[in-house]
Amino acid sequence: MSLDAINKRRGLMLVMSSPSGAGKTTLTRRLLDEDDDVVMSVSATTREPRPGEEEGKDYYFVTHERFREMIDQKELLEHAVVFENRYGTPRGPVTEALRAGKDVIFDIDWQGTQQMMSSASAIDLVRIFILPPSVKELEDRLRKRAQDSEATVRKRMEQAESEISHWAEYDYVLVNEDLERTYEDLKSIVRAERFRRERRPGMSEFVRQLMEER
C-alpha cells in the first residue's frame, strides 16, 4: 500500500468564531497564506462592502432577493442574521474543496456553527473560538480598524458580549493576547486534528495488510 494511500485523509471543516476585533481574520489569512492544503469558504452577505473589500475574495455581496433565492434553492450550508445583515455559506465550493482533499476554513458566527453541527458535516467540524485578552483591547482594536463608524463600533461591542457567551460550544478556545503565540497554537490544533483516526480512511486497509503480513 502506498504512503499516499495510507496518509489519505478527510478534509477538516475548520470553524472559526469570535467577537469582531479578536484577531480572527488576521489568523485565518495567515493560515491560508502559509498552508496550501487550506482554503477559505467565501460567504455571501447582504451587507455593503467595506473599503478595500473585494467581491469573491472577502464576500459575495448579494441583494436580499438573491440571498432569499439561495436559501430557497438550498444553495447555503447555513445562514444567519448578524448586525441586521444576512450571511450564509455557499455549499458548492465547500463540497468541491473537501472532495479535492482540502481543509476549509469558515469565518462564521455561533448561529452558523450550531447549524453546521446539526448537519451531516458534523463529524468533519473542528470548532475554534478566539477570545480577546480583555474588553478594552477588543474596543481598541475595533477603533483602530477605523473602517466602521462610531455607532457601528458601539453596536459591535454589544454584539461581542452575545457572541462570547457561546464560547463553551467550541472544541478549542484561544485567548489572542499575542498574535504569534496564538497562531502557533492554531497551527498545532490543525496539525493534530489531521491525524484523528476517523479522518484517516486509508488506515483500516493498511492495518489489515499489516496483520496479514504476520
Any residues with CB less than 8 A from the CB of 141 and at least 6 apart, and which?
A: 21, 22, 23, 132
Between CA 102 and CA 99 the distance in angstroms is 7
C-alpha gyration radius of the chain: 19
Q: In the complex with ligand 5GP, which residue's Cβ is closer, 38 or 42? A: 42
Q: Residue 124: name the closest of 35, 15, 28, 43 by CA.
A: 15
User: Residues binding ligand 5GP: what is the number (CB under 6 A)?
Assistant: 14
Q: In the complex with ligand 5GP, which residue's Cβ is closer, 82 or 157? A: 82
Q: In the complex with ligand 5GP, which residue's Cβ is closer, 158 or 212? A: 158
| Minimum distance, C-beta of residue 179 to ligand 5GP, in the bound complex (Å) | 18
Counts of helices then strands in the chain (DSSP H, E): 9, 9
Chosen residue from 89, 121, 176, 182 binding ligand 5GP by CB under 6 A: 89
Q: In the complex with ligand 5GP, which residue's Cβ is closer, 68 or 191? A: 68
Between CA 110 and CA 128 the distance in angstroms is 11
Q: Grid coordinates representing 79?
A: 445562514
Interaction of residue 107 with ligand 5GP, rule CB under 6 A: yes
The continuous run of DSSP H or E covering 134 comes out as none
Any residues with CB less than 8 A from the CB of 156 and at least 6 apart, and which?
A: 19, 20, 21, 83, 142, 148
Interaction of residue 47 with ligand 5GP, rule CB under 6 A: yes
Interaction of residue 15 with ligand 5GP, rule CB under 6 A: no
Binding part of the chain for ligand 5GP, among 103-111, 134-142, 178-186, 198-206 by CB under 6 A, reads 103-111
| Minimum distance, C-beta of residue 17 to ligand 5GP, in the bound complex (Å) | 6
Chosen residue from 28, 43, 46, 121 binding ligand 5GP by CB under 6 A: 43
Catalog residues that contact ligand 5GP under the rule CB under 6 A: 20, 43, 47, 78, 80, 82, 87-89, 107-109, 111-112
